[in-house]
A = this chain, B = another copy of it.
Amino acid sequence: MINKQKGIASIITIGDELLIGQTIDTNSAWMGIALNESGIAVRRRLAVGDNWDDIWQAIEQESAFANIILITGGLGPTADDITKPLLCKFFDGELVVDQGALDNVIDIFSNKLGKPLIERNLKQAEVPNTCVVIPNKRGTAPGMLFEKNNCVYVSMPGVPHEMKGMMSDDVIPWLINHFSVDKIIHKTMLTVGIGESFLAEILSPFEQLLPPEIKLAYLPSYGMVRLRLTTSHPSYQAEIEKQFNALKIIVQEHLVADEDLSMQAAVSAKMMEQSKTLSIAESCTGGYIAHLITSLAGSSQFFFGGIVSYSNELKMSLLNVPAEILEEFGAVSIQTVEKMAEGIRLKTGSDFGLATSGIMGPGGGTDTKPVGYVCVAVSLKNKTVSTTFQFRFDRTRNIELTAIQALNFLRKNMG
């Protein structure tokens, strides 16, 4: 058995699809968050393909860096998955049927799916006899936990919700029980409208006085920069609060939230706090802002809905933008976007109307309105305000940046 060592994790993800870029690895990010919250630091994350030698070497070598090796992927019912026989050999076991896993497979097929059970599915109940079986309440492939040379290895399916359930229900509780864990404290705030290097310049005196036990990190994304203070020293918990408050004051002009919130969550919180309601008219963002808002549970409390007026006809018929305005100034103009914002607010009876119109690319740009040119307006009861942006990126990034900046413009005009 394992003594109570300090737990340090390495995550191994298996699958050719990760290496050829067909799949983006979101599992590792989720695991990183969950482990950190439990006080287990992740030291390395490694992805290898469906190749016997590469998987073998990965499992063998990561034990030089960590004593908790978490493995996902390669456990499906199909022939391209070789992880289970490999683990069986690596941990000197033999494949045997696990009765609990078998009952689970039978239950899923006959009771939940109502489908006939096939040989291939039964094979999923086989596990090496050298492992502890971790039940899978959400799928057919069981998890497996092995111990070897003071190191713990856990193999889980790559299907995200199965892996997440297994981690939360069984793996993390087991790890906390068997390892000593440090409380790692992160304090994060969200700033917008100032670049990383200018922030660093402003924060230079602050950084110089920061105790070495507290780390400051800059995390830029889509026109925003998150600032994160971190310590794993239990005696610095009071100090990190003090430093965090000092940091807030220094960046207050650019501060959106003093926690690790998304921009849409910051806007939502403010809407609910003020008991205000919102509706959105989107042209260039094509429904993306409404999607960001409605991804948050409970958004129906303040969000009435929106109109994606991609064509000029809909701008006129659904949002009452006058034909003359569209004709004189064009669909992408301050004049049009203000009418859109007023139109959606009046049509739905919400407190705020937010509207976007712009040229996202790759086509559609002109000399005066190039790709990345965006107009944003917010309509309130007694006035309508607007602004323009010029982004310089590809379609996907222009849409994301527009959404973030539009939400920030709304936030600033909420008062």
**Chain B's nearest CB lies how many Å from the CB of A239?**
19
CA distance A222 to B215 in the complex (A): 38
A289 at the interface (CB under 8 A from B): yes
CA distance A391 to B20 in the complex (A): 30
Each complex incorporates copies of this chain amounting to 2
With beta carbons under 8 angstroms apart, the residue of B48, B197, B221 that contacts A23 is B221
Check if A28 sits within 8 Å of B28, measured CB to CB. no
Check if A310 sits within 8 Å of B305, measured CB to CB. yes
**Chain B's nearest CB lies how many Å from the CB of A240?**
15
A223 at the interface (CB under 8 A from B): no
CA distance A171 to B216 in the complex (A): 32
CA distance A130 to B307 in the complex (A): 56
With beta carbons under 8 angstroms apart, the residue of B26, B42, B306 that contacts A287 is B306
A220 at the interface (CB under 8 A from B): yes
**A271-297 to B contact mask, C-beta < 8 Å, 1/0:** 000000000101001111111011101
Check if A29 sits within 8 Å of B33, measured CB to CB. no
Check if B290 sits within 8 Å of A286, measured CB to CB. yes
**A223-245 to B contact mask, C-beta < 8 Å, 1/0:** 00010101000000000000000
Contact residues on A (Cβ < 8 Å of other chain), bracket: 35 or more
Chain B residues closer than 8 Å to A2, beta-carbon distance:
none
A21 at the interface (CB under 8 A from B): yes
Binding site for B on A (CB under 8 A): 16-26, 28-34, 36, 41-50, 54, 57-58, 61, 65, 76-80, 115, 118, 120-121, 140, 159-161, 186, 188, 196-201, 207, 215-221, 226, 228, 230, 260, 280, 282, 285-291, 293-295, 297-300, 303-311, 313-314, 317-318, 347-349, 361-363, 393-397, 399
| 7 residue pairs A–B, Cβ–Cβ below 8 Å | A18-B32, A22-B228, A24-B29, A44-B48, A79-B207, A294-B399, A304-B314
